[in-house]
Amino acid sequence: MQIQVLKADGSTESYLHTKVLGTLHRAMAAVESDCLETAQMLSDAVTYFLYRHPDSKALTTDQIHQMVLTVLDGAGFGAASEALNAHRLNRRLQRRRLEVLDSEYPVWDKRCIVRDLMEHYCLERSLARAIAGAVEEKVLRMGVLRIRKGTIRHLMIADMETLLEAQYQLNAAEPHAVAL
């Protein structure tokens, strides 16, 4: 059984244990040190629960977020739980405040980047989402309230070129089968 996750933008993707691990580790690292092993154990518990629970075939990101908060609180990491929740709320606020200039869509929407990459560059959804996520991260870290569509496009193309080059190098580095 593969668990599907309904994203905030309405798309779905397969559940990734590594995303839960990364989330737990970042939350715990914000208030603790040397917490990777504990984050691994807690993420294993979340994933184990999800695959054993009969209603876990389709979940929302909000449901997974609540599970992560519950696990953190239950394991005695209340400060990490609070830090994670504050981070998530802050990101939502940053997205809502961000205005895109010179665009028919003046409100920040990562889906526009995904759609553009898929339509104009024929990229798979998963790669387009990865690029859009990297662009969003850069834009939000800038701390600006307004950004031009052209700047977003430059960031998008730069990240697309970087990821495609990395993908090419990985494919070139794979050993080829030798006929005997």
* Residue 171, pLDDT score: 87
pLDDT value at position 131? 95
Q: For residues 122 and 81, state if they share a domain.
A: no
The DSSP H or E segment spanning 4 is strand 4-6
In this predicted model, what pLDDT tens digit does every residue of 132-172 receive, in sequence order?
Answer: 999 999 999 999 999 999 999 999 999 999 999 998 888 88
Summarize pLDDT for 85-136 with one digit per residue, the tens: 999 999 999 999 999 999 887 889 999 999 999 999 999 988 999 999 999 9
* pLDDT of residue 65 exceeding 50: yes
pLDDT of the residue at 84: 96
Q: Is the dihedral of CA 46, 3, 20, 69 positive or negative?
A: negative
> Which pLDDT score, from 0 to 100, does residue 10 have?
80
Domain boundary among 50, 65, 95: 95
Whether 5 shows a pLDDT value over 80: the answer reads yes
Confidence of residue 33 (pLDDT cuts 50, 70, 90): confident
Q: How far is CA 51 from CA 3, 4, 41, in A?
A: 8, 11, 15
Instruction: Specify the pLDDT at position 180.
Output: 47
Q: How many domains does the chain divide into?
A: 2
**Does 36 lie in the same domain as 79?**
yes
What does the pLDDT look like over 44-62, one tens digit per residue? Answer: 999 999 998 877 678 999 9
Question: What's the pTM?
Answer: 0.79
Mean pLDDT of all residues in 9-13: 83
Domain assignment present for 46: yes
Q: Are residues 64 and 103 in the same domain?
A: no
- From CA 174, how far away is CA 116, in angstroms rounded? 30
Task: Tell me, yes or no, whether 34 lies in a domain.
Answer: yes
Residues contacting residue 79 through CB under 8 Å, at least 6 positions apart: 31
User: In sequence order, which ranges of 30-148 are alpha helices (DSSP H)?
Assistant: 36-52, 61-74, 78-97, 110-121, 125-142
Structural domain includes residue 159:
yes
- Residue-level pLDDT at 176: 59
Q: Check whether residue 129 and residue 85 sit in a common domain.
A: no
Q: For the chain, what is the largest distance between any 2 Cα atoms, rounded to a whole number of angstroms?
A: 62
If asked whether residues 169 and 137 sit together in one domain, one would say yes
